[in-house]
Structure 1
């Protein structure tokens, strides 16, 4: 089962609508603000992996919250955190997400934010409650720890040990003996970009751990690499902080993906019309120990000795709203569609277990785990007033 895609990067839109007369440059200055206050430290922080997203504990004003570690996102706080920490609204700005949906939100600063032994001062944050994408609240009760904080320290994601290491000094990091340094570039909004080779063609990619897969392409890039095997997915497109667009998504098999001197073969890439950037996401950490040294504009990769299996799927994805879990995406021509599953079917039972036995979020994660690990499932759905049951076998579409 393909992990769901929650692309929760923000693009600050430098519009002419300001509060208190601030300029676009001043908006960006606040959004990018963060200063590492800790010195001569090293720490190891346990993270929870939730369908491709890494959540860590973040302390704000003596309270701890669960945050998504997101190399391509801005820092955020919920309205509850704003209230609890007495944070002031400095201005209102318009932001967009990777799927081009826009919204106006408040911009503030957190005086002191702590992750393990690392303390950060004057951290710019967006006030975001993810009310248009309720599934994101299953992952976090805080929001995103983003690129301005990540730039200030050295971070190492060791996926197989479920640890994120953090220090103010690269020399403190282990696992660098057999590593390779990849040059990255930070744009004015601190988005990190690097160059990869896909199917023998060099392309520019944004390193975005707010994307839970490996490779996501723009339509232009997908067209340029001339894919042959293409699957079409109907239903919802990428889920962003600002909401969801309905659009077709396409999946293709890459012959090869080269990152520096390392090569990954037969990996899938997703693309759709609304994608603004080529993305390389958090699945990268399944193949490498990833060290982020944004101060020196470096991505350091230490290969693991083995890799993941081939792409398999039941042929559908799921999402949730305030009351139910439903079929959000359907792969054309694959087993789920062949047996009669439809978009928006409400899932009420899987393998004999009623989803109502758990909370909505727990059911969502439990169902995704079953879709990831099982080879065959029995699924009961509700369609209007009618209930139907399907037996679906996982397959390798390529």
Structure 2
């Protein structure tokens, strides 16, 4: 009897020990990265659909590969086939969630060196990412993501007008035209969290997310704080690295104060609990992220105006049929409805693949009205 009890205890404790070792390895990977001691360089970036993309060289590779720059990503990512190509060794495993809350168990590797222009970083932990079938991330930059575990190592200046980034281990001087906002980080993370003012309310711990190409999104629990007109959407058009997720969104136009700058933008209140400030707002500023002082400095460059927010978004079911991916609540159409045509056209008439659809959808929806034909041959003008 005693022997049986001991054996059972060993069986119970073994997963705990393994999990603890795995956790320790992940912690070590997150905190072990470093940057060259003296660094000050400027690198160009491309701006694709509101996402910053930088050229990256891994280890001794001479080829520069496109990576998304994402302050909202807990750690960096390397696409799995690229990781296999370089023979990056698995150090640990972890659960990883995308911006929609879709979660996967991923392997974590260590990259010996990673260069962005003349800026070089060492021993960077990176998750091996296998993109979801419906993800648009590989359309923007298929090779990976520069995440907060690297970003926190140095200071950054983003100039959206010239599409250039300054990367430095030294201070970045600013003048009286800038406004400063302190930021916090969650434990063991480099993701910056700031406080902003919406109307008369202070909203704490908003993720300052240069990897999100939307505007401002809050959990739906905050919506009742603001008594103003709204519209409600059912949405499955927004995707993260692992795909999409159904969300109910209430949209309200509200004044936002960021530092000393006040502007009015549509705010999305999400039933999925998202809390993000993205580039649809931030691209109107010069941005300095000072990781030495935990301060974000902003200088307004242009009037903050968010891009038009469609109340109807179709997806592609196959070559012949569309599917409704976003629609207003109480619309004649419902999320998931199959459509024969949009403005008389089938998907194959416009797009040859997933990425063509992603980059060309705005043109399809740019007219004042959109006429759809349902599977039952009903014609609806939106």
Normalising by the smaller structure, the TM-score range is 0.7 to 0.9
The number of aligned residues is 361
Structure 2 partner of 1:26: 25
When structure 1 is superposed on structure 2, of 239-248 and 312-321 the one drifting more is 312-321
Deviation, 1:272, is: 1.8
Structure 1 partner of 2:195: 195
Residues 347 and 379, structure 1, Cα contact 8 Å, conserved in 2 = no
Cα deviation, 1:307-330, whole Å, max 9, x if unaligned, reads 327x64442134457878643111
Deviation, 1:125, is: 0.4
Closer, same or farther: CA 217–307 of 1 in aligned 2, 3 Å: closer
Q: Distance in 2 between matches of 1:329 and 1:314?
A: 8
Structure 2 partner of 1:72: 72
Residues 135 and 240, structure 2, Cα contact 8 Å, conserved in 1 = no
Structure 2 segments unaligned to the other structure (5+ residues): 1-14
Structure 1 segments unaligned to the other structure (5+ residues): 1-15, 393-398
Q: Which among 254, 262, 279 is matched to residue 276 of structure 2?
A: 279
Q: Distance in 1 between matches of 2:34 and 2:68?
A: 19
1:330 aligns with 2:331: no
Q: Distance in 2 between matches of 1:107 and 1:154?
A: 25
Q: Distance in 2 between matches of 1:57 and 1:286?
A: 20
Closer, same or farther: CA 320–130 of 1 in aligned 2, 3 Å: farther
Structure 2 partner of 1:376: 368
Residues 327 and 346, structure 1, Cα contact 8 Å, conserved in 2 = yes
Residues 36 and 121, structure 2, Cα contact 8 Å, conserved in 1 = yes
1:45 aligns with 2:44: yes
Closer, same or farther: CA 216–378 of 1 in aligned 2, 3 Å: closer
Deviation, 1:32, is: 4.6
Structure 1 partner of 2:12: none
The 5 Å alignment of 1:1-398 reads 22-37=21-36, 39-50=38-49, 52-61=50-59, 62=61, 63-73=63-73, 74-171=75-172, 176=175, 178-188=177-187, 189-204=189-204, 205-223=206-224, 225-236=225-236, 238-254=238-254, 256-265=255-264, 267-276=265-274, 278-308=275-305, 312-319=308-315, 326-332=323-329, 337=331, 343-345=336-338, 355-356=349-350, 358-371=352-365, 374-376=366-368, 378=370, 384=375, 392=382
Calculate the TM-score normalised by the size of structure 1. Answer: 0.80
Deviation, 1:257, is: 0.8
Q: Distance in 2 between matches of 1:355 and 1:17?
A: 55
Closer, same or farther: CA 301–82 of 1 in aligned 2, 3 Å: same
